[in-house]
Structure formats: structure tokens, C-alpha cells
Amino acid sequence: SGDTLFSGSIGRTDLWGGDPYKIIKSIKERLLKLDDDTVVIPGHGENTKIYNEKKFNPFL
């Protein structure tokens, strides 16, 4: 997922060009539609699964 979705977090939107509404929309329309057991390999940190992010990610 690069710097879009992390284990328990999302990408930074406070940097130039960042847009919190666009990143949430992108995650919900693209990533969260994947099967719950899909492994997410973020640009930083530990891998996670879509199910874990749906259930535990406070930003979603």
C-alpha cells in the first residue's frame, strides 16, 4: 500500500499536497474492498491484513 495504509494508521496528510478526505476515500474505495485476508505491505512498519484494519484502525 506504499504510504497509504499502515498497521493501525494511514499515510500523512499534513505534508504539501496531502488531503485527508482523498486518502480515506481511496482506502475505502480500493483497499477495504479487498478480501479480509489480503495482506497489506505498507511502506513502513509491520504487515497487516485488511480485516485487522477494518476492525482496529482508528482512522477508518
**Per the structure, how many domains does the chain have?**
1
Determine the pLDDT at residue 45. 96
With CA atoms as reference, report the closest residue to 26 among 18, 14, 38, 36.
18
Query: What residues make up the domain containing 48?
Result: 5-56
Note the pTM of the prediction, 2 decimals.
0.88
Determine the pLDDT at residue 33. 98
Q: How far does CA 57 lie from the centroid of its chain?
A: 8
Please give the Cα distance from 45 to 35 (Å, whole number). Answer: 21
pLDDT in tens, 3-42: 999 999 999 999 999 999 999 999 999 999 999 999 999 9
